[in-house]
């Protein structure tokens, strides 16, 4: 069954990119196991939980909302891993955060409504699973060693669905843009700062 939101409004930035947010949800702060969810369009395929931002929604708030809806987890939101641009078939700009899971709901919105599943994967295994059908999601995991602080604070986001915020301190507070050129003749992904 495919997910449908009757009143969903797609939001775009000034450059025509669809605004999206996602979280790499980790079992603990070691970041060695990541939670993936089944795709609503292709239930036999695993994806990173995330989706479109609502109007006036900050990226960090959207990321927390999406993992609550799609994966049924709450946790401590950490650093902004990067801003990933996907240009292959659709123009998406996705803000990807790290979240350490502190609570796992038994039943959650997408499990009840569309039968979505979730599963923990070791990082290497998750990359292999994602590479074939969601290469940009695999790229999120490859960027784990090159991270930065979130661009928003805990006060910027309204509803957090019970999630808390942890803003790590580093000298590098710049947003990292990662352009995915997967499937084009432009070569491998590039990181812009």
Determine the Cα–Cα distance for residues 156 and 128; give it in Å rounded to an integer: 35
Instruction: Give the integer Cα–Cα distance in Å for 69 and 173.
Output: 29
Instruction: Supply the residues annotated as catalytic.
Output: 69
Bridge partners, residue 26, by sequence: 34, 100
Q: What is the DSSP letter of 176?
A: P
Whole-angstrom distance, CA of residue 157 vs CA of residue 65:
10
Q: Residue 179's beta-bridge partner residues?
A: 85, 190
| Lookup result for tokens 């599963």 | 119
168 CB-near residues (< 8 Å, 6+ apart)? 78, 79, 149
Contact 38, 116 (CB under 8 A): yes
Asked if residue 97 lies in contact with residue 164, where contact means CB atoms within 8 angstroms, the answer is no
Kind of pairing, strands 92-104 and 18-26?
A: parallel
């Amino acid at each position: 069954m495919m997910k449908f939101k009757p009143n969903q409004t797609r939001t775009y930035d000034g450059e025509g990119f669809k605004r999206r947010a996602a979280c790499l949800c980790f079992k603990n702060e070691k970041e060695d196991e990541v939670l993936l969810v089944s795709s609503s369009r292709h239930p036999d395929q695993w994806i990173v939980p995330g989706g479109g931002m609502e109007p006036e929604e900050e990226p960090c708030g959207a990321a927390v909302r999406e993992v609550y809806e799609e994966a049924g987890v709450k946790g401590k939101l950490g650093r902004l891993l990067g801003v990933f641009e996907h240009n292959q078939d659709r123009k998406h700009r996705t803000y990807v955060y790290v979240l350490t899971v502190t609570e796992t709901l038994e039943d959650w919105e997408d499990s009840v409504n569309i039968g979505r599943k979730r599963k923990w994967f070791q990082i290497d295994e998750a990359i292999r699973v994602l590479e074939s059908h969601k290469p940009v999601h695999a790229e999120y995991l490859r960027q784990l060693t090159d991270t930065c602080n979130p661009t928003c604070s805990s006060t910027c986001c309204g509803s957090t669905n019970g999630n808390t915020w942890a803003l790590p301190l580093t000298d590098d507070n710049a947003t990292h843009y990662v352009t995915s050129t997967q499937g084009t003749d432009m070569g491998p992904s590039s990181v812009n700062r």
